[in-house]
Structure 1
Amino acid sequence: MDIAQLQAYGYFIMTVGLAIGLYAYIYHLYSKRKDADGVDYEKYSNMALKDDIADTPVNATSRDKKYRKGIKK
């Protein structure tokens, strides 16, 4: 076995290993969409696109709800 053949085997093994790692990471992301607090961060993916002042917030907080009703604390 010469060095070129070892490099070819190493390249193949690294490529297969990285592909498996990538698919495992993608599976992990889609199977664990919510974190421990129950927050689904996929809702926040369009935040950069919908950043106009007139757009609705991604997640309304309790303070926002109080201001909508006219109660200011």
Structure 2
Amino acid sequence: MDIAQIQAYGYFALTIFLVVALYGYIYHLYTKKKDVDGVDYESYSDMALKDDLDDAPVSPKSDDKEK
């Protein structure tokens, strides 16, 4: 077994590991979509694109102070 074959096996193993890690992370994101407070942070993803004055706010806030 020469160094090229060892590198090929290492590359293949690393690729498989990274694919499994990526799919695990995607699964984690979609199963834990909301945090403990119940806030869905996916609605904040377009905030940088929708930052015009006429656009609707991401989360509506009232002027009344909560007690």
- Normalised by the length of structure 2, the TM-score is 0.87
Bigger relative CO (Cα 8 Å, ≥ 6 apart): 2
Report the counterpart of residue 39 of structure 1 in structure 2. Answer: 39
CA RMSD, aligned part only?
1.0
Consecutive unaligned residues in structure 2, runs of 5 or more: none
1:62 offset after TM fit, Å?
A: 3.1
Structure number with greater Rg is 1
Report the counterpart of residue 23 of structure 1 in structure 2. Answer: 23
Identity %: 66
Moved over 3 A (4+): none
- Give the aligned length: 64
Q: Which amino acid aligns with 1:53?
A: L
Instruction: Indicate the structure with greater helix content.
Output: 1
